[in-house]
Amino acid sequence: MIYSRISGTGSYLPEKILTNADLEKMVDTSDQWIVERTGIRSRHLAAEEQDTCDLAEMAARRALDAAGVEASELDLIIIGTTTPDRVFPSTACLLQARLGNHGAMAFDIQAVCSGFIYALSIADQFIKAGTFKRALVLGADSFSRLVDWTDRNTCVLFGDGAGAVVLEASSEPGILSSHLHADGAYKDLLTVPAKIAQGRLHNDGFTKMQGNEVFKFAVKVLSDVVKEALAANELEGSTLDWLVPHQANLRIIKATAKKLNLPMERVVLTVSEHGNTSAASIPLALDVAVRDGRIQRGHTLLLEGVGGGFTWGAVVLKF
């Protein structure tokens, strides 16, 4: 049987850091208010001259180096992103050109904060089917560009960054299962309502969120998809080595860990320093834990996330 297995991880965070103390000078908020409700203390922001592809390139090169893979050897490049550099071509094609790859299948996927989970699952299917042998999968977002910095309910949440993994065909177990869902009936709870027509942006181009409703929905669907993923693999939550969740809100993460009967010591947390980096948050957290030695070969991981759409999903894998 062919499996797809992660052979390398990489990530990148922009140099500029915006702390809660900085936000106190910009909007009517406080460090205490932000931390109590979200767990976030700081976030990284892309420089004015940095595009999403710039962030993705740094993460991609680090993942390729970790895997010992040349860009020319890639068969597939997928980027989960909500903030592409252009309407078209895709940011994946822009990255492909930067890396010097010619001929690999390359495309973006838009599932907001679930983008990396969606992208990872798609790449897994191509590899398991025998179509491709090596894939570069990324989550990359410059989400701060969709933030109204006068709206204290949303501007405290988001940051920028990119994370990447190299997936390779293997006879050893890697990705064990993936579980993806969406429900567009909740489209207005978390959205950027703008559209492009006649070369211009029409309607509001900033993120709109009904925070309480998003929180309740996220806790419910993450609980459901986690149970689904565990049942599919005949696992108990307590037997997982690590939970690597979407880093949106510490309260949501704690609620998910409680449902799994998993101590917080086995949950990878970066939300305090990164904020919500949308599609980048899961691969960012994964790379942090791999590089500091917490996640080791043979560990069983559960990755999960939820994003606007609503979209949500989970992946169970052997690292």
> How confident is the model over 9-42, as pLDDT tens digits?
999 999 999 999 999 999 999 999 999 999 999 9
Q: Is 299 a catalytic residue?
A: no
Q: Return d(Cα 167, Cα 5) in angstroms, integer.
A: 5
Q: Is 246 a catalytic residue?
A: yes
Q: Which of 20, 101, 249, 276 is catalytic?
A: 276
* Residue 205 confidence (pLDDT): 96
Strand partners, 78: 107, 137
Residues 155 and 279 sit within 8 Å (Cβ to Cβ): no
* 3-172 and 176-318: identical CATH topology: yes
Average the pLDDT over 279-308 and give the result: 98
Q: Return d(Cα 274, Cα 296) in angstroms, integer.
A: 23
3-state SS of the chain: helix, strand, coil percent to 5? 40, 30, 35
- pLDDT band for position 122 (cuts 50, 70, 90): very high
Q: Return d(Cα 304, Cα 313) in angstroms, integer.
A: 6
Q: Pick from 178, 67, 137, 157: which is nearest to 280 by CA?
A: 137
* Residue 57 confidence (pLDDT): 99
* Residue 191 confidence (pLDDT): 98
pLDDT digits (tens, 9 = 90+) for 125-160: 999 999 999 999 999 999 999 999 999 999 999 999
* Residue 178 confidence (pLDDT): 98
Q: Return d(Cα 215, Cα 226) in angstroms, integer.
A: 16
Average the pLDDT over 58-82 and give the result: 98
* Residue 10 confidence (pLDDT): 99
Residue with structure tokens 């252009």? 86
* Residue 6 confidence (pLDDT): 98
* Residue 254 confidence (pLDDT): 96
Average the pLDDT over 216-244 and give the result: 96
Burial of 210 (0-12, 13-18, 19+ CB in 10 A): middle
CATH 3.90.1150.10 is the classification of domain 3-172: no
Intra-chain end-to-end CA distance of the chain, in Å: 17
Q: Is 113 a catalytic residue?
A: yes
- pLDDT band for position 239 (cuts 50, 70, 90): very high
Beta strands in the chain (DSSP E): 3-12, 16-19, 42-45, 76-80, 105-109, 134-142, 160-170, 175-182, 190-191, 195-197, 200-202, 208-209, 242-245, 300-307, 311-318
Q: Which of 53, 101, 155, 246 is catalytic?
A: 246
Strand partners, 191: 208
Strand partners, 169: 4
Report the share of the chain in percent with pLDDT over 70.
100
DSSP H or E run through 226: helix 211-232
- The topology (CATH level 3) of 176-318 is Peroxisomal Thiolase; Chain A, domain 1 (3.40.47)
Residues 29 and 36 sit within 8 Å (Cβ to Cβ): no
Tokens of 234: 């005949």
Residues 6+ apart with CB under 8 A from 304: 117, 222, 225, 226, 229, 243, 244, 245, 246, 256, 312, 313, 314, 315
- Strand 134-142 with 160-170, pairing: antiparallel
Q: Which of 113, 155, 179, 274 is catalytic?
A: 113
Helix (H, G, I), strand (E, B) or coil at 313: strand
User: Could you tell me the residue ranges of all domains in the chain?
Assistant: 3-172, 176-318
